Structure 1
Amino acid sequence: MRSAVAKLGKDPKLIEPLVPVDLVVDHSVQVDYAGVGNALQQNMQKEFERNQARYQFLKWGMQAFDSFKVVPPGIGIVHQINLEYLAKGVLEKDGVYYPDTLVGTDSHTTMINGIGVVGWGVGGIEAEAGMLGQPVYFLTPDVVGMHLTGALREGVTATDLVLHCTEMLRAAKVVGKFVEYHGEGATNLPLTDRATIANMAPEYGATMGFFPIDEETCRYLQATGRTDEQVDAFRNYFQAQGMFGIPGKDECVYSQVLDLNLADVQPGVAGPKRPQDRINLPELKQTFEALFQKPVSESGYNKTQAELGKRYPINGAGNGAGDLGHGDVLIAAITSCTNTSNPSVMLAAGLLAKKAVEKGLTIRPAVKASLGPGSRVVTAYLQKTDLQQYLDKLGFNLVGYGCTTCIGNSGPLDPKIEEVVTTNDLITASVLSGNRNFEAHNPLWNDISSSTGNLYEWDTASTYIQDPPFFEGFGLEPGTISTITGARPLAVLGDSVTTDHISPAGAIKPTSPAGQYLQENGVAVQDFNSYGSRRGNDKVMTRGTFANVRIKNLMVPGTEGGLTKYYANGGPGEQMDIYVAAVKYQSAGVPLVVLAGQEYGTGSSRDWAAKGTSLLGVQAVIAQSFERIHRSNLVGMGVLPCQFKEGTTTQTLNLEGNETFDVVGFDANLQPQQDATLVIHRAGGETRDVPVTVRIDTPIEIEYYRHGGILQYVLRQLIAQA
């Protein structure tokens, strides 16, 4: 934005965060080294080698912006750092006290609801606008009361509880709603258990999973190093407002009330594809065997019973590696903000490791084990209780402080093991403590050098940081709202397509368009790093959008991965990578649409899921329903979200992918949530009109869409006020 302002001859300092901004570097670490005593040092060294260009950029930002602070790599996961250190609870300015609130660029920002701070995840696009003084707009939500009674039984953990809540709340359809926990059961939960439940609000679909403030909240703030003065101000403020204490049954009026007796919660695991598909622990074997044989259309693996017992030797992977078969665990990771913030489950892991070691148990060599705590506090108490040594003996050595396996940064397996898995199409497993199963400064930071000044000096040769094309051709006049005609489908997708499916995430395949681009620019495969680490390069990220290895485009039945069919000049359709097809369509001036089922864009906020969609030339996404953040992000990037009416799906429309589409029935006077028409032109000449709802929900979003995106709108506002 500063570069765009400078090109218009204005002062770059016009762009400055108007609210305090903390950036925690926690997504860069990758588990290259595990099972050894110096894994932390080796992984951090590799992290700094890979991310030199990114860290130079961040250090430039620290000196260029007045209200921008960076928590360097190797400190911890943003949500745990936020809980233990950054959150203030109550703020004061010019003698006026007001409650601490937050928006974060990660959906699990809701973890802070555990200490009574109102906050939730937004897309990076919306957050950038918020930094520049733009209000965060949203429709007034329903508030669902979750009434808790009783207590957890012995052996049942906070993890079991949050999976139970996730299953219940998904079934109750709380997407876009606030959830407030209340009742005696909520009052008796430790703060860390509350934070665990609040953390997973995006998994159950809620905007917030809120616990009101009480004396337990104050105790936690005191125990994590907040001063007596801060804690007293926090308590006194909320007592004065009449908002101190967790409500009992019937003390508040909620839109809907759900009841849960904590004694009913059983030990369980999240299902293999979605967190809400909870499996009671004793039923795990039979559930796996059933899914093993179910067709892919029913979320199964489409294998036969005869294949289940087959074993395949691991050749050349060393003594003791043995063989592999379906259902084998290959990754065991203690990681993620959901659980590593909670001493009860972390100490339980340490005690379990102690008992295992004392009984002579070991982990088979084929399993890659790792421990990636959410902050250094975890290391302190595991060492103080003398439990870390037992985790080390089992191979759960400390590998880093940050997000690892949850976001696909588990690092590579032994090549010989990978070869057996891929050659024989094995259905293997990872066991992790994460929240999803979708598919003093570190001296290294101080050594990073960077440029100075108000404008960043872009390096056109960098494969990490590029000046993005979002402001190409930017002018002071907004665009116009007009209908979409003659669009081709880039993808026709099913239900529960997550932002991890859409957005570039995890490892970069050498044969993918992004992998080929990097190799063409002199980057060796071993230096690819992850998509997350290269998010500052639009050329990598656009090539990786819709490139997830498990995404299923119904236009290309029987396949997985970022494939589509390209239609031109009445031809039969040519199968190719989604990115390649998008480039061809853009060069021909053909607009694109994406069609999908329910819960489109579920999962983390991942702004590149919307940025990449826009840069591929997609002008509209038509789905049965949208997850809150992704819908907002699409509007923020100038992409039109439309929703099918109840009963209409891509299946009932019998789409083949060779159709063309118009989205009509609106003009420059577009209104929030107004009806429009999707016109389907079939290859045989038949035309069908399908009513849809335009999911631009508020008047301000109309303006964002008119301007081509939220950042363009904000930049024009700032220049006009200068």
Structure 2
Amino acid sequence: MWDNISQQMACFIPIALWKQTRTHPMSIEAEATMLGQPMSMVLPGVVGLKLSGKLKEGVTATDLVLTVAQMLRKHGVVGKFVEFYGEGMRELSLEDRATIANMSPDYAAIMGFFRIDNVTLQYLKLIGKYDENVFMIEAYLRANKMFVDYDEPVAETVYSSYLELNLNDIEPCVSGPKRPHDRVLLKEMKEDWHACLSNKVGFKGFAIPKEFRSKVVDFTFNGIPAQLRHGVVVIAAITSCTNTSNVSVMIGAALVAKKACKFGLEVKPWIKTSLAPGSGVVTKWDMIMSPPGAHSVRDAYCLLFFGDSVTTDHISPSGSIYKDSPAARYLTERHPLEGLQLLWESPREWRDGEVGPFTIHIPSGEKMLVYNAAMRYKSEGQDTIVLAGADYGSGSSRDGAAKGPVLLGVKAVIVKSIEHIHRSNLVGMGIIPLCFKQGEDAKMLGLMGHEKYTIELPSNINEIKPGQDVKVVVDSNNSFTCTLRFDTEVELAYFDHGGILQYVIRKLINGA
């Protein structure tokens, strides 16, 4: 029994730990480890940084991490581990923890890490891990005193050295002008900058002679007259790996920008601006702050009608691309791909035996590429669904197989059976997963894929229950019943908001 548990734990514990730890990913040691070599090190000391209190309104994870970087640099943590613990952990989201751990090279520790707690377990559920596995992980960690529950008395841990930080004491700040741990309170930035101009050359100085500190240089930019002086902004960049994937930090930056536009502030044309977040998902965070509300799908056409065993590799292929597809044209227009065979054979089979990434645009009867048909349906304001057989979404757990259908405008999938992880990913993207009743499938119900489908769901999410029966009306005449594969109340909450990301963002902004 324990051998089996150990094998399963090996798949999950590293995820729980890695997501909240950070060592520098580009080191030679890391490269050697990836090539199968062991990494040796002297057993490091462990600095315990106890967090208490709560961040004040307007104070971000970036303010916290700059404060921590300064504090740890001053203490000296080179070659050491830093463990963050204490009651203040209750108030830190996983994104905030990742932001802090990500800065370990900047405060010179081998790594920064956090004890595994309920926030970690919630993350495992968020990425689609089975509830039973998450339960097993929690039980194992509790039994081995590796889990921390802040609702229970926590035993004191022995560290090499101790530090304490009250989150309530942290104020908005910046760092620089040259090092991330040279923290400057935002309210003192102007004074500090002028001091840097006169200070001797170093990390906090430029030694600009007094007679040159007010010097102005005239120039033109695309015919526009302009001036430069010490202290003006010439580069405005939001770029990082973890900081810019932190929802609250990015939304905060967006709200500041929105307010600036409202007051008529504009970026000078000669200022270089860039937004390079750690994840492209950041670009899709524009949304209303309340859930959409309507949940039914009405008069949707079938974009694709599949048989059994459609895998995630079919839905989101990782190999070659069909040579005449929009993706291939997009790539070849920008990067000539001489000699490259671009072909994706989907399991969609036509009456004449042809196989390929095509479908029929039902209203016109035209055969076209799936992407083109999907874009046409979207331009016509028409929802679409997918019909399929058994074992839909089997294979690797790639999230692109759920993101792709959302971007194509798919609102629901109706299948004979569906794989667990792909079902979870669809839920996370706001797509309705439905399963035919036992013993039924599209063929038995006489579905041809040319009909219009209406899925009737209450607009009030509280009237929808996990696993309930759902009526699907076909062409306003016939109907059949499916099982709704939202399996938990949490998944219903995600669906109500249009997906996991929207749910998390609204929760953060609303302070829930």
TM-score for the superposition, normalised by structure 2? 0.53
Question: Unmatched 5+ residue regions in structure 1?
Answer: 1-90, 103-110, 387-439, 452-722
SS at match of 1:121: coil
2:190 maps to which of 280, 285, 310? 285
Distance of 1:229 and 1:282 partners within structure 2 = 50
Cα 1:139–1:313 shift into 2, 3 Å:
same
Go from structure 1 to structure 2 and tell me whether the alpha carbon gap of 1:219 and 1:355 turns closer, same or farther (over 3 Å shift). same
Deviations 1:180-199 (A, max 9, x none): 01100023211111111111
* 8 Å contact kept, 2:23–2:104: no
TM-superposed CA distance for 1:382, in Å, is 2.8
Distance, in Å, in 2 between the alignment partners of 1:249 and 1:97 is 24
2:124 maps to 221
Matched, 1:310 2:215: yes
CA RMSD of aligned residues (A): 3.3
- Aligned match of 2:179: 274
Alpha-carbon distance between aligned partners in 2 of 1:190 and 1:367, rounded to the nearest angstrom:
34
> By how many angstroms is 1:96 displaced?
5.1
Residue in structure 1 matched with residue 107 of structure 2 by the alignment: 204
Residue 326 (structure 1) aligns with: 230
Amino acid at match of 1:360: G
Residue of 260, 264, 267 corresponding to 1:360: 264
Distance 2:136 2:283 in 1: 31
The answer as to 2:130 corresponding to 1:130 is: no
Contact 1:115 1:213 in 2 (8 A): no
Provide the secondary structure at the position in 1 that maps to 2:286.
helix
Q: State whether residues 269 and 279 of structure 1, in contact with CA within 8 Å, keep that contact through their aligned partners in structure 2.
A: yes
1:115–1:234 Cα change, 3 Å: farther
Summarize the Cα distance change of 1:259–1:316 in structure 2 as closer, same or farther, 3 Å threshold: closer
Contact (CA 8 Å) 2:70, 2:183: kept in 1 or not? yes
Check conservation: 1:148, 1:184, Cα contact below 8 A. Answer: yes
Question: Per chain length, whose mean CA-contact separation is higher, i.e. which structure has more relative contact order (CA < 8 Å, sep 6+)?
Answer: 1
> The residue matched to 2:109 in structure 1 has which SS?
coil
For 2:247, the equivalent position in structure 1 comes to 343
1:450 Cα deviation from its structure 2 partner:
9.2
Separation of aligned partners in 1, 2:60 and 2:111: 22
What's the TM-score once normalised by structure 1's chain length?
0.38
Take 2:25 and 2:221, find their aligned partners in 1: how far apart are those partners?
Answer: 47
Distance 1:214 1:297, change over 3 A: closer
Q: Which moved further from structure 2: 265-274 or 218-227?
A: 218-227
Q: Which residue of 2 aligns with 1:599?
A: none
Shift of 1:93: 9.3
**What amino acid is aligned across from residue 278 of structure 2 in structure 1?**
G
The separation in 2 between residues aligned to 1:254 and 1:99, in whole angstroms, is 29
Instruction: State the Cα deviation string for residues 399-439 of structure 1 (Å, max 9, x = none).
Output: xxxxxxxxxxxxxxxxxxxxxxxxxxxxxxxxxxxxxxxxx
Task: Label 1:112 to 1:250 Cα distance change in 2 as closer, same or farther (>3 A).
Answer: closer
Opposite residue 66 of structure 2, the aligned amino acid is L
Question: 223, 235, 244: which one pairs with 2:147?
Answer: 244
- Conserved 8 A contact 2:53-2:87: yes
Query: Could you say what secondary structure the match of 1:300 adopts?
Result: coil
Q: Distance in 1 between matches of 2:90 and 2:11?
A: 21
Report the Cα distance in structure 1 between the residues aligned to 2:149 and 2:159, rounded to whole angstroms: 14
- What is the Cα deviation at residue 129 of structure 1? 2.9
CA contact (8 A) 2:20 2:97 kept: no
Give the aligned residue type for 2:67.
Answer: H
Q: 1:295 aligns with which of 200, 203, 207?
A: 200
Q: Against the structure 1 CA distance between its residues 216 and 94, is the aligned structure 2 distance closer, same or farther, given a 3 Å change threshold?
A: closer
- The offset of 1:238, in angstroms, is 2.2
- What is the match of residue 74 of structure 2? 171
Equivalent in 63, 88, 97 of residue 9 of structure 2: 97
C-alpha distance in 2 between matches for 1:370 and 1:212: 35
Q: Distance in 1 between matches of 2:339 and 2:114?
A: 42
Structure 2: which amino acid aligns with 1:207?
Answer: I
Partner of 2:275: 371
SS where residue 351 of structure 1 aligns? helix
**Structure 1 residues 124 and 176, CA, compared in 2 at 3 Å: closer, same or farther?**
closer
Relative to structure 1, is the Cα distance of residues 276 and 198 closer, same or farther in structure 2, using a 3 angstrom cutoff?
Answer: same
Matched residue count: 299
CA displacement at 1:133 relative to structure 2: 2.8
Cα 1:182–1:291, aligned 2, differ >3 Å: closer, same or farther? same
Alpha carbons 1:113, 1:209 under 8 Å: kept: no
Residues of 1 paired with 2:49 and 2:134: CA distance? 27
Residue 177 of structure 2 contacts residue 204 of structure 2 at CA under 8 Å; is this kept in 1? no
Cα distance in 2 for residues equivalent to 1:331 and 1:448: 36
